[in-house]
């Protein structure tokens, strides 16, 4: 039960994939579920911090979400700053894809974003 509480966003992402392939969920529900899975990946998914330490190594503390750091105040906003600065995107991607949890959260975020966009386009086409 504890792991379900920790990984609930991945369950939502699986429901989104099921909804697209089965056609049983409408685009309204897919937009909402995709947005929830996307926000989970950004701010709550369990990943390593991967911020740069003073020894120029990866921080291996646990963090919440691919954009937030660990409990150390300097690390908390470092990844978010990398996301905002276009010149640091390569470093951010390299650090996000350094472990399985980071890869899972990153692909979940990209998939949820694509899913939400496709569902919004589907809604727009159906209303026209």
Per-residue confidence (pLDDT) for residue 9, from 0 to 100: 92
pLDDT of residue 90: 77
| Alpha helices by DSSP H, the chain | 2-6, 8-22, 27-43, 73-76, 78-84, 89-96, 100-127
Read off the pLDDT of each residue in 12-23 and give the average, rounded to a whole number: 93
Check if the beta carbon of residue 17 is closer than 8 Å to that of residue 37. no
Q: Quick check: 122 pLDDT over 80?
A: yes
Share of the chain above pLDDT 70, in %: 98
| Rounded CA separation 37/9 (Å) | 5
- Find the mean pLDDT for residues 80-98: 76
Q: Is the pLDDT of residue 1 over 90?
A: no
Higher local confidence (pLDDT), 94 or 114: 114
pLDDT tens digits for 38-86? Answer: 999 989 999 888 888 888 888 889 888 888 888 988 888 787 777 777 7
Are 59 and 53 in contact by the 8 Å Cβ rule? The answer is yes
Quote the CA–CA distance of 22 and 10 in Å, as a whole number.
Answer: 18
> Which residue matches tokens 């470092």?
78
User: What's the pLDDT score for residue 128?
Assistant: 67
Extents of the domains making up the chain: 2-127
CA distance 24 to 98: 36
Percent of all residues in the chain with a pLDDT value above 90, rounded to a whole number? 35
């Amino acid at each position: 039960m504890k792991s379900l509480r920790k990984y609930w966003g991945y369950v939502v992402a699986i429901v989104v994939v099921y909804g697209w392939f089965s056609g049983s969920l409408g685009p309204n529900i897919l937009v909402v579920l995709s947005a929830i899975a996307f926000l989970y990946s950004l701010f709550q998914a369990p990943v390593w911090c991967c911020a740069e330490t003073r020894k120029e190594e990866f921080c291996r503390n646990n963090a919440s979400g691919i954009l937030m750091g660990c409990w150390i105040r300097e690390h908390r906003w470092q990844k978010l700053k990398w996301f905002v600065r276009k010149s640091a995107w390569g470093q951010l991607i390299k650090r996000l894809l350094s472990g399985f949890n980071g890869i899972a959260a990153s692909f979940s975020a990209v998939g949820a974003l694509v899913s939400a966009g496709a569902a919004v386009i589907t809604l727009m086409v159906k209303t026209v």
